[in-house]
Structure 1
Amino acid sequence: MNKLKVGVIGVPMDLGQNRRGVDMGPSAIRYAGLISRLESLGHEVKDFGDITIERRSEEQVSAGLKNLSQVIHANDLLRQQVESIEEEGYFPLVLGGDHSIAIGTLAGVTKKRKQLGVIWYDAHGDLNTGDTSPSGNIHGMPLAVSLGLGEESLTSIGGFAPKIKPEHIVIVGARSLDDGEKELIKEKGIKIFTMHEIDRLGMTKVMEQAIEHVGAGTDGVHLSLDLDGLDPNDAPGVGTPVLGGISYRESHLAMEMLAEAGILTSTEFVEVNPILDERNKTAEVAVALMGSLFGEKLL
């Protein structure tokens, strides 16, 4: 992998869901040795610190969505930071925080890349809107928001919508989808590899097809990796674990194949929750996967 200027941004936000603790995810990932790991691979790394998160003492509900104004504020700040570091020539590496932060990341990177491909590595589709969400939690909505669907104050972050196109998306590892999400996937023709396809085809075939799909007609590729995409035995410190997930080894293979393809232009790792973790195991898994993603090899 070519040596990169990597710009790290932390987003210590837990407002997009119900279970507290995921706001400590960026600190846990840094503590697990992220910066030194990437520097040892020859990359130039600059830590731009954390986005400041506006907090209130009580949960706010607006338009049926929880903590809407704070989520908008945080994602707009993230958008600005991502835009800024890209202008300086850095590869954005965003650390979450719950998955609602993908709204800001994608708003930032698509200012420059209008035909962005997206690999959504996740147990969930994150394709709910206020009308289909059973919970009102915005961390279940970022992919829909980025497609221009749902609450206008979210879709309009950055001043334009949609940010991405359905034909440029691949979901990998899904095994928990709400009815509205299933309908949307079929309606929009979104490419998806559920655990059934991963089991049947194997991770090599899945990633070959995923890489081919997001590389067609795009001007960059973003990886959005939710640690709950992995099986809870390998990544226990997540807020919404789903049994029967992608293995640690399969995930390394996926990251190694992305590194070899050389197509990524930005990435984020989200939903590490140290409170629910075992001795920082999930943060360490995240850092190990980032090592593979940024070119680390055994020999």
Structure 2
Amino acid sequence: MDLDSTLQMMNVDKVVVYAKEQARLLANVIKDDHFLIILGGDCSILIGNAIALKQTGTYGLFFLDGHTDYIPPELSQTAAIAGMDLAIVTGFGHEKLTNIYNFAPYFDKSNVFCVGNREYGPDYVQPILESGIPYYDLDRLRANGLKNTADLFIDLVEKNNLDGFFVHLDLDVLNDTIMPAVDSRQQDGLSYSELSALLVPLLQHKKAVGIEITILDPNLDKDGKYTADFVNNFMGILNTSRR
């Protein structure tokens, strides 16, 4: 728990080292044309994944999370990089994190969707609203339609002629009653049927290269009930989409 007093972020040097090693391990696997399922860990693992993708081409990001993770350190209550990962991978923040290997930005903002946030405080959402990233909080997502939102992102991928796209799934996007084993609990959230409506059209697309799944804390799921429910539902989604 090392606070960088200059950047006002926790564990900066360690996250950079981890991201570089993670990117090294993933780069060759991406080239092998496998569909990747990457298990976290907190959301800072997105940085290493983003670097690996940037090394191999130009990719989009469907960022599905109960938070935007697009804030500067001064808005963070924890100074955790895991709460700023979308900002970092799109080039918003200190270059020590945003410009590893001079790759900034790892994802161009025009190739990113931010979906599922339900922390609606004005100060919290202002940065994402000003970013230019297409943004669908939970209310707007439901109003727009889940499959329709996924289809809009796929249209963007095709229009921008991207090499592929990656999905970030933070399990705090799920309804708190079905997934309380997360570190930032909030009321409401997606049901498993809603998650399926979003993910199936994405994961079945030929340009989907992988998904990362973050923040399922086993210490908060002593008997494994919520983990088992998630695995069963996610495998159903995966089997449907990857046929």
Aligned to 1:77: 21
**Contact 1:170-1:214 within 8 A present in 2 as well:** no
Task: Work out the CA distance in 2 between the residues paired with 1:81 and 1:129.
Answer: 29
Please report how far the alpha carbon of residue 122 of structure 1 lies from its aligned counterpart in structure 2 after TM superposition: 0.5
Task: Work out the CA distance in 2 between the residues paired with 1:227 and 1:209.
Answer: 22
Aligned to 1:288: 232
Residues 1:61 and 2:3 aligned together: yes
Aligned to 1:55: none
Task: Work out the CA distance in 2 between the residues paired with 1:241 and 1:223.
Answer: 21
Q: How does the TM-score come out when normalised to structure 2?
A: 0.88
Aligned to 2:114: 171
Please report how far the alpha carbon of residue 236 of structure 1 lies from its aligned counterpart in structure 2 after TM superposition: 1.4
Residues 1:269 and 2:210 aligned together: no
Please report how far the alpha carbon of residue 293 of structure 1 lies from its aligned counterpart in structure 2 after TM superposition: 4.5
Aligned to 1:36: none
What runs of 5+ residues in structure 1 fail to find an aligned partner?
A: 1-58
**Contact 1:109-1:266 within 8 A present in 2 as well:** no
Please provide the CA RMSD for this pair. Answer: 2.2
Task: Work out the CA distance in 1 between the residues paired with 2:3 and 2:193.
Answer: 40
Task: Name which of 145, 153, 159 aligns with 1:216.
Answer: 159
**Contact 2:163-2:207 within 8 A present in 1 as well:** no
CA change 1:113–1:295 in 2 (3 A) is farther
Aligned to 1:19: none
Please report how far the alpha carbon of residue 242 of structure 1 lies from its aligned counterpart in structure 2 after TM superposition: 1.5
Q: What aligned pairs does 1:119-268 form with structure 2 within 5 A after superposition? A: 119-176=62-119, 179=122, 181-217=124-160, 218-268=162-212
CA change 1:163–1:180 in 2 (3 A) is farther
Task: Name which of 117, 120, 140 aligns with 2:60.
Answer: 117
Q: How many residues align?
A: 239
**Contact 1:108-1:158 within 8 A present in 2 as well:** no
Aligned to 1:38: none
Identity over aligned pairs, percent: 25
Q: Which has the higher helix share?
A: 2
Task: Work out the CA distance in 2 between the residues paired with 1:76 and 1:261.
Answer: 28
Please report how far the alpha carbon of residue 223 of structure 1 lies from its aligned counterpart in structure 2 after TM superposition: 0.2
Once the two structures are overlaid, the 10-residue window that deviates more, 164-173 or 86-95, is 86-95
Task: Work out the CA distance in 1 between the residues paired with 2:132 and 2:232.
Answer: 33
